[in-house]
C-alpha cells in the first residue's frame, strides 16, 4: 500500500485549539518530545475565529493512541479532541503536482486527470501542473498512475476529516437506544 493510504496503523485526531500564537508548536512539540510520529497534519481556522482546527493523522504504532490523546488533552490551549476512525469518517485531501510531460504525452495525463475529476492548473512546454482532490486512497491511485510520466513536484495537503453522518431518524437518541437495548 502506498505510504499515503489509510491502514490500520493510522488514526485521525481532529483537534480544536485556541487560535493563539505558538499553539501549533506546542502540539508538534508534544509529538516530538514523546516520540509519537505524525503522519500528516493540516491546520486551518475553524468556524469560530477564537479556535483553529488541527487534523492530525497519527501512526498509532509509535505509541498507544490513548496515551497520545491524553497527553494532547493536557495541553492548556487544546479545547477538544475528536478521534475519528478512518472507517467511520469522510476524509478528503488535495494533491498538487507538476508532471514532466511534453506535447506528445500531455493528452494521456489530461485524460487521467479527467478520470479523477481533477483540474489542469498550469501548462508549460514540457510540464503540466495538475490538481486532484478526494479521498486519500483515490489520490494514491492517481499518483501510482501518473508516476511513470515523472513528477517534478508533488505536494499533498494532509487530510481533513469529518465523521460519517448517521442515517437514523433521530441521531441524538442513538446512545440512549443502545443503552436501552443493552
Q: How far is the CB of 171 from another protein (least distance, A)?
A: 26
User: Dihedral, CA atoms, 167, 168, 173, 174, nearest 10 degrees?
Assistant: -70
Among 21, 165, 169, 181, binds another protein (CB under 8 A): 21
129-149 burial by CB neighbour count: b if 16+ within 10 A, else e?
bbbbbbebbbbbbbbeebeeb
Name the segment binding another protein (CB under 8 A); options: 22-30, 86-94, 117-125, 141-149. 22-30
Candidates 13, 17, 99, 113; binder of another protein (CB under 8 A) is 17
29 near another protein, rule: CB under 8 A: yes
Site mask for another protein (CB under 8 A), range 38-77, x = bound: ------------x-------------x-xx--xx-xxxxx
CB-wise, 26 or 106, nearer to another protein?
A: 26
179 near another protein (CB under 8 A): no
As measured in angstroms, the least distance from the Cβ of 79 to another protein is 4
Give the DSSP per-residue string, 35-77: TPEEEEEEEEE-SSTTEEEEEEEEETTSS-HHHHHHHHHHSTT
Place of cell 481533513: 160
Q: Is 26 in the site for another protein (CB under 8 A)?
A: yes
Cα gap 113→129, rounded to integer Å: 11
SS3 content of the chain, % helix, strand, coil (to 5): 35, 35, 30
Residues near another protein (CB under 8 A): 17-18, 21-22, 25-26, 29, 33, 50, 64, 66-67, 70-71, 73-80
Amino acid at each position: 500500500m502506498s505510504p499515503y493510504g489509510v491502514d490500520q496503523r493510522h488514526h485521525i485526531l481532529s483537534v480544536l485549539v485556541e487560535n493563539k500564537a505558538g499553539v501549533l508548536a506546542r502540539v508538534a512539540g508534544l509529538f516530538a518530545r514523546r516520540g509519537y510520529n505524525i503522519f500528516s497534519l493540516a491546520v486551518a481556522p475553524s468556524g469560530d475565529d477564537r479556535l483553529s482546527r488541527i487534523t492530525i493523522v497519527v501512526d498509532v504504532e509509535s505509541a498507544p493512541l490513548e496515551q497520545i490523546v491524553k497527553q494532547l488533552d493536557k495541553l492548556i490551549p487544546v479545547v477538544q479532541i475528536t478521534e475519528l476512525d478512518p472507517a467511520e469518517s469522510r476524509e478528503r485531501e488535495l494533491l498538487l503536482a507538476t508532471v514532466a510531460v511534453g506535447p506528445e504525452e500531455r493528452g494521456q495525463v489530461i485524460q487521467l486527470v479527467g478520470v479523477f475529476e481533477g483540474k489542469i492548473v498550469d501548462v508549460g512546454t514540457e510540464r503540466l501542473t495538475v490538481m486532484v482532490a478526494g479521498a486519500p486512497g483515490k489520490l494514491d491511485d492517481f499518483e501510482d498512475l501518473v508516476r511513470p510520466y515523472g513528477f517534478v513536484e508533488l505536494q499533498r495537503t494532509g487530510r481533513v476529516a469529518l465523521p460519517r453522518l448517521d442515517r437514523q431518524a433521530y441521531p441524538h437518541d442513538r446512545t440512549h437506544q443502545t443503552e436501552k437495548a443493552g
